[in-house]
Structure formats: structure tokens, C-alpha cells
Amino acid sequence: MNFISIRWPGDGFFFALALIPIQIKITAPYGRHTRSNWGLMISNRLGWTLMEVVSLIVFAFFFLRGDAEKTTGSWILFALWVAHYIHRSLIFPLRTHTRGKKIPLFIVFSAVFFNTINGFMNGFYLGELQPPTLFADHPRFIVGLVLFLLGAALNLYSDTLLLRLRKPGETGYKIPRNHVFRWVSCPNHLGEIIEWTGFALMAWNLAALSFAVWTAANLIPRALSHHRWYKAQFPDYPKERKAVIPFVL
């Protein structure tokens, strides 16, 4: 048990850091960056459901079967994780306008790997190893909860604005112009990073910190790639707009 509690979340953390240079160099080929030379492809919607539902199942399984005393705090974390992944795996794919679009199977497998490790580490830690000191009224927990909810709202809102850019049947890209897009190209990615930073503050363990770092290591390079892509595609792309952190990056 000690081995798992100390080594695995820590290993996940360092693995996340090690991935940063690879993710800066290689832009994962899905969405606007899809390329057909990455082997077998499957439907984009099916790919999203397959890769994200793993997080839901693995996390819930290890959380619910674990012997640790479940506090109000751990149940709140469970509810937030489950709500996020029900949306991401079952609702979000149905809302996308990606008729006919494909995703490489390799990307789906990579994401399944990523989501299995993170779902396991977080579910197992909270379900099995969490000491009964996770208090929902601790100031750090409350600050984390506020961050999580703000991040989730920003993520959902900006994804909704992006999804509305396409009329039924369209699959191309337009410049998102208003609201949060005035400041950054990828407010949805910023929201997701804030969300999991909040979760890490609430949970206050290495598994959750590792997931927050992993998410940032994944989404900051992706947002930079999106930003470069917009500037290359649209000569009139707003010059003052940043990629992911307003006024900074």
C-alpha cells in the first residue's frame, strides 16, 4: 500500500513533466490537426466516447470498491469527477458538428492510456488511501471548489461558443470573435486547466496534482498549436489575442 500511495502518484507527476517537450514538439493529430498518416482512423464521435468513458469507469470502480472512509469531501470530489466525465464522454461528442470526421486509433489508444492511469490514480487514492481528514469545510477545499466550478463554467461556455460557429452540416473553421475569445484563442483549454487545478487543491494529494500538471502539459502546447494554426489560416486573425493565458501566453 505504501508503495502505491507514495510512488504511483509521484511517478505520474514526473511522467507528466517528462511529456511536456514531446507535446510541444508533436501536436496530437485530431480535430483541426488530423492527419491521415497516423494509421487506422475511426469516427471522431466514437473516438471521443471511447477515450473519455475510460476515466469515468476506472475512477468510479476504484473509488467505490476502496476501503477508505468516505467523507463528505471525498464524495464531492467523486461527484465532480463523474459529472465532468459523463459530460465529456457522453454529451460533448453528441454536441460536436464533426460529421464524416475521423480520429486516428493511435490517438484514441494514447488517450485511453492517459485516462486509465489518471482515473486509477485518483479513484484509488480517494477510495483506498485517503485519510479521513479531507474536510469539505477547509478553506483550501472551498477555494478549490470555487476554482473548479469557475473553470468548468469557462470550459463549457467556450466549447458551446465554438460549437455554435458551425451551422448544421458545416465542418470548417471560423474565427471565434466575441466574449472570452477576445483575450485568448483557447479559453476552453484554459477553463479545463483551472478546473483540474481546483480539483487538486480540494483533494490535496499527489494523484490529483499529477492530473492537473498532466492536463496543463497536454493543453498548453495544444492551445499554442491552435493559436499558430489560426494565425496561419486567417490573415485577419486578431493580433492582440493570446493563445491560452490572457495578456501573457
Ligand X SMILES: NC(=O)c1ccc[n+]([C@@H]2O[C@H](COP(=O)([O-])OP(=O)(O)OC[C@H]3O[C@@H](n4cnc5c(N)ncnc54)[C@H](OP(=O)(O)O)[C@@H]3O)[C@@H](O)[C@H]2O)c1
12 binds ligand X (CB under 6 A): no
Say whether residue 32 binds ligand X (CB under 6 A).
yes
C-alpha cell at 97: 458538428
Please pick, from the candidates 43, 61, 75, 101, the single residue that binds ligand X as defined by CB under 6 A. 101
d(CA 199, CA 204): 8
Residue sitting closest to ligand X (CB): 31
DSSP string, 53-88: HHHHHHHHHHHHH--SPPPHHHHHHHHHHHHHHHII
84 lines the binding site for ligand X (CB under 6 A): no
Beta bridge partners of 116: none
Q: Determine, following the binding rule CB under 6 A, whether residue 222 of this chain makes contact with ligand X.
A: yes
For ligand X, the binding residue among 73, 74, 159, 202 (CB under 6 A) is 159
Helix (H, G, I), strand (E, B) or coil at 215: helix
Kindly tell me which residue out of 27, 89, 155, 205 binds ligand X, with binding defined by CB under 6 A: 155
Contact 190, 227 (CB under 8 A): no
For ligand X, which residue of 75, 106, 157, 173 counts as binding (CB under 6 A)?
A: 173
Q: Binding ligand X by CB under 6 A: which of 104, 176, 198, 221?
A: 176
Query: Using an 8 Å Cβ cutoff, are 215 and 20 in contact?
Result: no
**Can you tell me the distance from the alpha carbon of 195 to that of 157, in angstroms, rounded to the nearest whole number?**
13
Interface with ligand X (CB under 6 A), residue total 21
Spatial contact of 243 and 223, defined as CB atoms under 8 Å apart: yes
Site residues (vs ligand X, CB under 6 A) = 31-32, 96, 98, 101, 155, 159, 162-163, 165-166, 173-174, 176, 188-189, 192, 215, 218-219, 222
